[in-house]
C-alpha cells in the first residue's frame, strides 16, 4: 500500500480512538482500570483486538496521562495503530517512541499471551520498563524487565519463568534470542520458561533487524579437541601468491584451481574436496581468510594481555568476550603467532532474521528505517510506514563540506565547532569511529575547550552524558552509535541560540547512521543544525575505490572538485550498504537449512518433554530401519561383524545361535536381529514394572539421542559454513553446495538418532528405587 493511503488508514483509526477521549476522562481511576477486565472478557468471548482497539487505546492514553503525565499525541496514536497492525513505523527521533509503544503493548497484553518489546541495549530496556511500567500496572497488567543492569549477571530459571509469565516484557534482542535457544536445551518440561511467542515490538528496529543480523546467536558447549592443523594451514597460506593461487574480491577470498592443486600436492592428497580431507580443507580456508581479508586494526587488535580482540566497526570498541566462530578466531591467533585459545563446540544457534520471523505478530519502530525499506520487505515481508512528525521539523540540515584530506577536514570541523560554541550553542561532534573521537578531543584540548567524550563501553554511562549534551555551552564528542535512543533535551535559552548543533565528521557506513546523528538535534519541532564534513581519507572510501588513484588528490599534488569528492565518497557508502545487505542475505540463506531442521528437532523435543510417548511399534520400526541400514552397509556379512553389531546395539549378552544362521539369507538375518530386539525390549519392560515408568524411560532415551546428534549437527553446519564460503564463487554455487551437504549430513544425523534411541533403550541400565523413582544409566 502507498504510504499516503496507509497514513490515511491510520488517521481513521485515530478518529475512532479520539471519539472515546472524553468518555475516558469522566471515569474514576477505578472505573478506568476496571476496563481491562472487560476488554479481556470481550477478547475471550471472541471479539478481535482490532475491534477492541479504539476503546483500549483511548483507555491507555488516559492512563498514560494520569500516571505518566503525558497524553499521547495524535501521531503517536497513529504509530501505535501501525505497530499493532505489524508495520515497521518510522518515527523521527524525539517523537516519543517509548510512550507510543504503551498503546499496542497494552492492547496485545490483554490477550494474556504476552507482549514483548525488545531494544538493542540493557539500558533502554530497563529504563523503558521502569518509566512506562506504572501505567501498565495502573491498568492491571504485569510488567517485567528481562535483563539486568550488569550483563554478566544471570537470572535463575525460576526468575525467568516469572519474567516471561508477565503480560508485558521489556528486554533486549540478544537476551531474548539466547533465552529461546536455552529454552530448547532444557532436559525436562518443568525447566522451560518461555511461552509460545505472541506479539513483539522491536525498538531501534533498523539496528536490531539489520545491523545485528549478520552475526548469528550461538551458544557454546563443550570444548573441542584442539586441532594441530592450524599451524600447517597457516604455514601453507604464507607461501601463496595472489591472483595465482587465490583471488580476493571485497570481503571474499577463494582458492583458484591452481591453488587447490598446489594444496593437494603440498598435503599429499588426491582430492581436497573428498570428505576425508574436509578438516584440512576447512583449516586452509580459515587460514586464507585470516591472512587475506580479516584485517588487523580494523577488524581486530591484539589486546594488552596478548589476545585477539574483535573490534565493533560502528563504535570502534573492542567486543568483550566475543570470538569468531568455527575456528576463525584460532586461525587469526595462529597468523599472529599467539597461543591458540580454546575452541568450543556450538550447541545451538539461530540468526535474528529467523528468530523474529517466528513471532505470529512482529512490528518495529525506529527513527531511520525508511532507507532500508526494500531489504526489510524482502527479508521480513514487512512494510515501512512513515509517521508524520508532531510538529514541523525546524532543524536545518546544511549541505556537506568536502575536503581532499583528513587534516583539513578535522580542522574545518573544529573551526565550525568553535564558532558555534562561542555563541553558547551546544555542539555534538559525531564521528564514525572511536579513534576519531580521540583525534577530535585532542584538537579541542589544544584550543583549550572543555568537552565530554563518549567512548566508554557502557550504555548507562553514555546515556548520562548524552542527556547533558543539550545544555548551553556543552561540547560533546561521540561515535554515531553512542547513547543511541537517549533523548537530548535542550537547556534553558538554547532554543533561542538555534538548538543543538550536530557536526558529523566523516561519511558514515550507511545513510541511516547519518540520519540518526542528525536526529539528535531538532526533536519535537525544536530548532537545530546539522552538517557533515567529509574527505577522501574517510574510512569508508577504502571500499570500492582504487586508493592509488586518489592518492594524488590526498597528497595535494593534484586538485579535485567537490563534486568529484562527493561522488567518490557517496559511491563508497553505497557499496558498503550493498555489501551489508548481501552479507545479511547470505547469513539468512545459510540459516534456512538450519531453520527447517531446528523446527523439526525442537518440535520433537517438545513432544517428548510434554510427555509424548514413543510407542512400541514405533520403536520397532526405528529398529528395523537401523537393521536395514546395517545390512546395506555390510553386503558381505560375517559372524564377527554381526556379533559386534548385536553387542553394540542390542544386547550385552552373547547368544550362541547366531553361528547357525545362513548369513547369505538377508531376510533370515533381519528376522533374527529383530527377534533379538524384541526379546531385549521385553526384558527391559520386565525390569521396569509400570507402563508409565517404561514410557518415561523411553522418552529420556530418545531425548538424549536427539540432543547428542543435534548438537553435533549444529556444530558441523557451523564449520561447514566457514569452509564452503572459501570455495570459488565463479566455479561453484556456494549456497547450493552448502545446502546439498547440509541435507546429506541431516540424513546421517537422522540415522544416528535412530541408532542411538535403540541403543539407549536396549543397553541402558535401568532400575526403580523404593520410592518408585527411575534410575537410568545411559550406555
Point out which residues bind ligand ADP (CB under 6 A): 70-73, 76, 91, 93-99, 485, 487
d(CA 576, CA 57): 41
d(CA 536, CA 411): 15
76 is in an annotated binding site: yes
**In the bound complex, what is the minimum distance in angstroms from residue 366's beta carbon to ligand ADP?**
9
d(CA 210, CA 213): 5
Cβ atoms of 409 and 542 closer than 8 Å: no
Nearer to ligand ADP, 96 or 504 (CB): 96
**In the bound complex, what is the minimum distance in angstroms from residue 775's beta carbon to ligand ADP?**
56
d(CA 746, CA 742): 6
Cβ atoms of 98 and 92 closer than 8 Å: no
Closest CA to 343 of 317, 312, 308: 308
Name, in order, each residue with C-beta under 8 angstroms of 584's C-beta and a sequence gap of 6 or more.
210, 213, 214, 353, 375, 379
Nearer to ligand ADP, 96 or 327 (CB): 96
**In the bound complex, what is the minimum distance in angstroms from residue 430's beta carbon to ligand ADP?**
16
Nearer to ligand ADP, 203 or 741 (CB): 203
**In the bound complex, what is the minimum distance in angstroms from residue 390's beta carbon to ligand ADP?**
8
Q: Which residues of 444-458 are buried (b: 16+ CB within 10 A; e: fewer)?
A: beeeebebbbbbeee
Identify the burial level of 467 via C-beta atoms within 10 angstroms of its C-beta, where 0-12 means exposed, 13-18 middle and 19 or more buried.
middle
Nearer to ligand ADP, 523 or 684 (CB): 523
Which contiguous run of DSSP H or E holds residue 677? helix 666-687
Nearer to ligand ADP, 95 or 167 (CB): 95
Q: Which residues of 1-39 are buried (b: 16+ CB within 10 A; e: fewer)?
A: eeeeebbebbeebbeebeebeeebeeeeeeebbebbeeb
Q: What are phi and psi of 390, to 5 degrees?
A: -70, -45
Nearer to ligand ADP, 72 or 528 (CB): 72
**In the bound complex, what is the minimum distance in angstroms from residue 166's beta carbon to ligand ADP?**
21
95 is in an annotated binding site: yes
Nearer to ligand ADP, 77 or 240 (CB): 77
Cβ atoms of 429 and 500 closer than 8 Å: no
Identify the burial level of 177 via C-beta atoms within 10 angstroms of its C-beta, where 0-12 means exposed, 13-18 middle and 19 or more buried.
buried
Nearer to ligand ADP, 519 or 580 (CB): 519
Cβ atoms of 100 and 72 closer than 8 Å: yes
The one-character DSSP state at 318 is: B
Closest CA to 106 of 39, 204, 179: 39
**In the bound complex, what is the minimum distance in angstroms from residue 276's beta carbon to ligand ADP?**
56
98 is in an annotated binding site: yes
**In the bound complex, what is the minimum distance in angstroms from residue 195's beta carbon to ligand ADP?**
27
Q: Which residue is nearest to ligand ADP (CB)?
A: 96
506 is in an annotated binding site: no
499 is in an annotated binding site: no
**In the bound complex, what is the minimum distance in angstroms from residue 365's beta carbon to ligand ADP?**
8
Which residues carry a binding-site annotation?
76, 94-98, 487
Which residues carry a binding-site annotation for ATP?
76, 94-98, 487
Amino acid at each position: 500500500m502507498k504510504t499516503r493511503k496507509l497514513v490515511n488508514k491510520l488517521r481513521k483509526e485515530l478518529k475512532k480512538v479520539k471519539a472515546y477521549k472524553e468518555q475516558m476522562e469522566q471515569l474514576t481511576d477505578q472505573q478506568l482500570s476496571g476496563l481491562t477486565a472487560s476488554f479481556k472478557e470481550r477478547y475471550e468471548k471472541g471479539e478481535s483486538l482490532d475491534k477492541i482497539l479504539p476503546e483500549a487505546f483511548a483507555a491507555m492514553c488516559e492512563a498514560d496521562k494520569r500516571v505518566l503525565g503525558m497524553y499521547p499525541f495524535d501521531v503517536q496514536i497513529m504509530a501505535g495503530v501501525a505497530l499493532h497492525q505489524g508495520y515497521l513505523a518510522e518515527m523521527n527521533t524525539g517523537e516519543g517512541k517509548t510512550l507510543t509503544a504503551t498503546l499496542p503493548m497494552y492492547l496485545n497484553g490483554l490477550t494474556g499471551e504476552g507482549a514483548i518489546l525488545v531494544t538493542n541495549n540493557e539500558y533502554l530496556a530497563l529504563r523503558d520498563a521502569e518509566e512506562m511500567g506504572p501505567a501498565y500496572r495502573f491498568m492491571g497488567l504485569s510488567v517485567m524487565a528481562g535483563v539486568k543492569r550488569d550483563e554478566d549477571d544471570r537470572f535463575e530459571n525460576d526468575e525467568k519463568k516469572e519474567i516471561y509469565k508477565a503480560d508485558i516484557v521489556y528486554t533486549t534482542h540478544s537476551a531474548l534470542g539466547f533465552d529461546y535457544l536455552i529454552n530448547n536445551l532444557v532436559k525436562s518440561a518443568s525447566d522451560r520458561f518461555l511461552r509460545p511467542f505472541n506479539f513483539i515490538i522491536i525498538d531501534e528496529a533498523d539496528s536490531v533487524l539489520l545491523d545485528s543480523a549478520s552475526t548469528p546467536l550461538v551458544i557454546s558447549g563443550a570444548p573441542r579437541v584442539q586441532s594441530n592443523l592450524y599451524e600447517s594451514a597457516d604455514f601453507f597460506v604464507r607461501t601463496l601468491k595472489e591472483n595465482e593461487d587465490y583471488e580476493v574480491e571485497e570481503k571474499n577470498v577463494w582458492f583458484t584451481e591452481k591453488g587447490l592443486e598446489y594444496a593437494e600436492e603440498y598435503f599429499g592428497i588426491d582430492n581436497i574436496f573428498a570428505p576425508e580431507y574436509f578438516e584440512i580443507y576447512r583449516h586452509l580456508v580459515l587460514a586464507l581468510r585470516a591472512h587475506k581479508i580479516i584485517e588487523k586494526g580494523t577488524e581486530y587488535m591484539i589486546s594488552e594481555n596478548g589476545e585477539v580482540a574483535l573490534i565493533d566497526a560502528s563504535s570502534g570498541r573492542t567486543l568483550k568476550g566475543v570470538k569468531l566462530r568455527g575456528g576463525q578466531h584460532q586461525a587469526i591467533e595462529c597468523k599472529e603467532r599467539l597461543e591458540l585459545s580454546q575452541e568450543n563446540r556450538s550447541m545451538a544457534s539461530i540468526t535474528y532474521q529467523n528468530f523474529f520471523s517466528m513471532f505470529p505478530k512482529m512490528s518495529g519502530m525506529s527513527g531511520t528505517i525508511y532507507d532500508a525499506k526494500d531489504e526489510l520487505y524482502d527479508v521480513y515481508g514487512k512494510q515501512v510506514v512513515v509517521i508524520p512528525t508532531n510538529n514541523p521539523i525546524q532543524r536545518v540540515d546544511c549541505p556537506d563540506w568536502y575536503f581532499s584530506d583528513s587534516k583539513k577536514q578535522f580542522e574545518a570541523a573544529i573551526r565550525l565547532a568553535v564558532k558555534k560554541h562561542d555563541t553558547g550553542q551546544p555542539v555534538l561532534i559525531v564521528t564514525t569511529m572511536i579513534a576519531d573521537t580521540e583525534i577530535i578531543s585532542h584538537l579541542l584540548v589544544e584550543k583549550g575547550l572543555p568537552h565530554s567524550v563518549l567512548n566508554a563501553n557502557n550504555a548507562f554511562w553514555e546515556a548520562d552524558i548524552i542527556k547533558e549534551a543539550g545544555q548551553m555551552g556543552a561540547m560533546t564528542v561521540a561515535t554515531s552509535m553512542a547513547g543511541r535512543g537517549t533523548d537530548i533535551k535542550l537547556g534553558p535559552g538554547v532554543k533561542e541560540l538555534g538548538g543543538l548543533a550536530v557536526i558529523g565528521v566523516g561519511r558514515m557506513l550507511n545513510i541511516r547512521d547519518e540520519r540518526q546523528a542528525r536526529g539528535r538535534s531538532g526533536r519535537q519541532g525544536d530548532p537545530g543544525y546539522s552538517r557533515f564534513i567529509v574527505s577522501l581519507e574517510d574510512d569508508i572510501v577504502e571500499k570500492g575505490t582504487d586508493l592509488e588513484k586518489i592518492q594524488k588528490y590526498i597528497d595535494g599534488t593534484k586538485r579535485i572538485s567537490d563534486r568529484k569528492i562527493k561522488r567518490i565518497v557517496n559511491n563508497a557508502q553505497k557499496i558498503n550498504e550493498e555489501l551489508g545487505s548481501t552479507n545479511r542475505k547470505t547469513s539468512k540463506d545459510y540459516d534456512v537449512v538450519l531453520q527447517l531442521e531446528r523446527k523439526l528437532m525442537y518440535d520433537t523435543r517438545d513432544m517428548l518433554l510434554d510427555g509424548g510417548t514413543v510407542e512400541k511399534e514405533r520403536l520397532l520400526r526405528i529398529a528395523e530401519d537401523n537393521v536395514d541400514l546395517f545390512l546395506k552397509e555390510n553386503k558381505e556379512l560375517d559372524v564377527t561383524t554381526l556379533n559386534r553389531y548385536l553387542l553394540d546395539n542390542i544386547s550385552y549378552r552373547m547368544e550362541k545361535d547366531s553361528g547357525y544362521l545362513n548369513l547369505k539369507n538377508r531376510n533370515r538375518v533381519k528376522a533374527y536381529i529383530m527377534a533379538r530386539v524384541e526379546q531385549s525390549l521385553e526384558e527391559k519392560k520386565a525390569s521396569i514394572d509400570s507402563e508409565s515408568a517404561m514410557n518415561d524411560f523411553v522418552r529420556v532415551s530418545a531425548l538424549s539421542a536427539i540432543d547428542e546428534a543435534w548438537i553435533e549437527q549444529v556444530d558441523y553446519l557451523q564449520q561447514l559454513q566457514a569452509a564452503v564460503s572459501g570455495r570459488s564463487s565463479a566455479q561453484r554455487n556456494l549456497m547450493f553446495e552448502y545446502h546439498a551437504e547440509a541435507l546429506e549430513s541431516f540424513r546421517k544425523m537422522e540415522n544416528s538418532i535412530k541408532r542411538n534411541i535403540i541403543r539407549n533403550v536396549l543397553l541402558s541400565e535401568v532400575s526403580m528405587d523404593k520410592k518408585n523413582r527411575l534410575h537410568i544409566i545411559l550406555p
